[in-house]
Amino acid sequence: MPSTIPFVGHSIQFSKSPVEFLTAAYFKHGPVFSFTMVGKTFTYLLGSQASALFFSSKNEDLNAEEVYAKLTTPVFGKGVAYDVPNNVFLEQKKLLKTGFSISRFKHHVHLIERELLEYFNRWQHEGEADLFASLSELIILTASSCLHGKEIRSLLSEDVAQLYWDLDAGFSHLAWVLPAWFPLPSFKRRDRAHRKMKELFLEAIRMRRSSQTKEDDMLQTLIDASYKNGRALSDDEISGMLIGLLLAGQHTSSTTASWLGFFIAKHQDIQDALYEEQRKVFGKHADGEHANGEQSHGHLSYDGLKECHLLDLCLKETLRMRPPIVTMMRMCKTPQKILNYVIPAGHQICVSPTTNHRLPDTWHQPQFFDPYRSFMDKFVYVPFGAGRHRCIGEAFAYVQIKSIWSYLIQKFHFELVGGKFPEVNVTTMIHTPSDPIIRYRRR
């Protein structure tokens, strides 16, 4: 795609409305097209056939570290994730994945419910709330309670929560462009937050090691783990992996949970059906009081969540219409053939889940929220990636978000404020809802 502006290329058009820009390019140029931004060439693969190259590739051909290390290393720390060779990163992911078991998910549901009870006791009988801010805070609390262990969860004060926000702010467009040492105020806050967070996590790890007790949580999993060569994980590696585990999922899960809430509030008929599903699955007291007058909280369970089929469909449709990741990228290391094209080494190869999820030649009326639609084409519905690149935290995200919204549907009725559905905030790397205020009323 030619551009008349040297170096800048298509940056301005892309940044204003990335999905519309990519969709227009798809219909004009086909499923494979290239354009320049800030002196770099980006080749997008859209649609099922073209996207298959991205998700089935080997890391030596399409490299992730060269794209993401600059962004993640200042946040997670050195020695983990994209700061290590790919074979080491794969081992680290495998170790983390062992902590995502069904037996732990069953326990997680009860931990999440406890956090929900405490958190939403603050809400009034009715009112308005910043849904994204509330769910962002709640996602941190529930994730830490489930994944980090009681030592770290006990440290989560308002001051520590601010460290999370400062770290999370490190995932910005400027972090792609500028070196990590650049003296931006946000970079300084990110680096200071990382140091303080690392100290807190290291102290929690030392407490667990000295206690001589073994807990059934992710912290214990990593303390007991070792690489294939027999080397145990260092405390630095454990802390970095735990920080990465939380930050990698916090923003995406809070964004998805928020969009789900706004879709539920917009479609009152679906909200009514979801409420009836909750009553059916979790019992006749899920919405009100026991015979003795005590308030019931529905007693969420992992098995019950699996029976919430409509909630599951609504979550999947939310991920189709508002996938948290707009673009996934890899650095092309060797020439790649796809359809009738050859992509040279040096291009940044990209897939856009958001655009793939809205292609009108793939989806029937993609602009409408329809939880009953069919999901068929491989590599077109990819909110969590696909193939060897699929997100290891997908199952936990489903448990976490479905637990939160099962509770909220049981306890509250939601409406849009003034009937206004939030616009998408395209200025952030993850497309959050703008002005995310929702109206609620206790049932």
The percent of residues above 70 in pLDDT, for the chain, comes to 95
CA–CA dist 359, 24 (Å, integer): 10
Tell me, rounded to whole angstroms, the distance of Cα 135 from its chain centroid. Answer: 13
pLDDT confidence band for 400 (50 / 70 / 90): very high
pLDDT at residue 46 in the model: 96
pLDDT at residue 3 in the model: 81
For domain 86-289+391-442, give the CATH superfamily: Cytochrome P450 (1.10.630.10)
pLDDT confidence band for 357 (50 / 70 / 90): very high
CA–CA dist 7, 3 (Å, integer): 9
Contacts of 211 (CB under 8 A, 6+ apart): none
pLDDT at residue 45 in the model: 97
Q: Which of these ranges, 18-27, 150-159, 258-267, 364-373, has the smallest mean pLDDT? A: 150-159
Contacts of 130 (CB under 8 A, 6+ apart): 436, 437
- As a three-state string, the secondary structure of 311-359 is HHHHHHHHHHHCCCECCEEEEECCCEEECCEEECCCCEEEECHHHHCCC
Where is pLDDT greater, at 278 or 290? 278
Collapsing DSSP to helix, strand or coil, 222 comes out as: helix
In this model, does residue 221 exceed pLDDT 70? yes
CA–CA dist 145, 110 (Å, integer): 10
pLDDT confidence band for 172 (50 / 70 / 90): confident
Name the residue ranges covered by the structural domains of the chain. 86-289+391-442
- Measured from the Cβ of residue 295, the count of other Cβ atoms closer than 10 Å reads 10
Mean pLDDT of the chain: 89
In this model, does residue 158 exceed pLDDT 70? no
Give the mean pLDDT of 132-144. Answer: 91
Decide: 342 and 336 in contact? Cβ < 8 Å.
Answer: yes
Pairing of strands 348-351, 40-45: parallel
pLDDT at residue 168 in the model: 80
Collapsing DSSP to helix, strand or coil, 211 comes out as: helix
CA–CA dist 200, 143 (Å, integer): 16
Identity of residue 130: D
- The closest of 339, 274, 261, 275 to 310, measured between CA atoms, is 274
pLDDT at residue 296 in the model: 41
Mind listing the pLDDT tens digit for each residue in 176-194?
Answer: 778 888 899 999 999 999 9
- Measured from the Cβ of residue 360, the count of other Cβ atoms closer than 10 Å reads 11
CA–CA dist 62, 209 (Å, integer): 39
Q: What is the CA radius of gyration of the chain?
A: 22
In this model, does residue 290 exceed pLDDT 70? no
CA–CA dist 4, 36 (Å, integer): 11
Mind listing the pLDDT tens digit for each residue in 235-264?
Answer: 999 999 999 888 877 778 999 999 999 999
Determine if residue 391 is labeled as part of a ligand binding site: yes
pLDDT at residue 386 in the model: 81
In this model, does residue 293 exceed pLDDT 60? no
Decide: 152 and 241 in contact? Cβ < 8 Å.
Answer: no
Give the mean pLDDT of 390-401. Answer: 90
Give the mean pLDDT of 357-372. Answer: 93
Mind listing the pLDDT tens digit for each residue in 1-28?
Answer: 888 788 888 988 988 889 999 999 999 9
In this model, does residue 401 exceed pLDDT 90? yes
pTM comes to: 0.91
Q: Which of these ranges, 124-128, 155-159, 170-174, 367-371, has the smallest mean pLDDT? A: 155-159
Mind listing the pLDDT tens digit for each residue in 95-118?
Answer: 998 888 899 999 999 999 999 999
Give the residues across from 106 on adjacent strands: none
pLDDT at residue 287 in the model: 44
Give the mean pLDDT of 146-150. Answer: 84
pLDDT at residue 30 in the model: 96
- As a three-state string, the secondary structure of 151-170 is HHHCCCCHHHHHHHHHHHCC
pLDDT at residue 159 in the model: 66
Of 204-208, 250-254, 288-292, 332-336, highest mean pLDDT = 332-336
pLDDT confidence band for 292 (50 / 70 / 90): very low
In this model, does residue 285 exceed pLDDT 70? no
Q: Which of these ranges, 118-127, 200-209, 217-226, 297-306, has the smallest mean pLDDT? A: 297-306
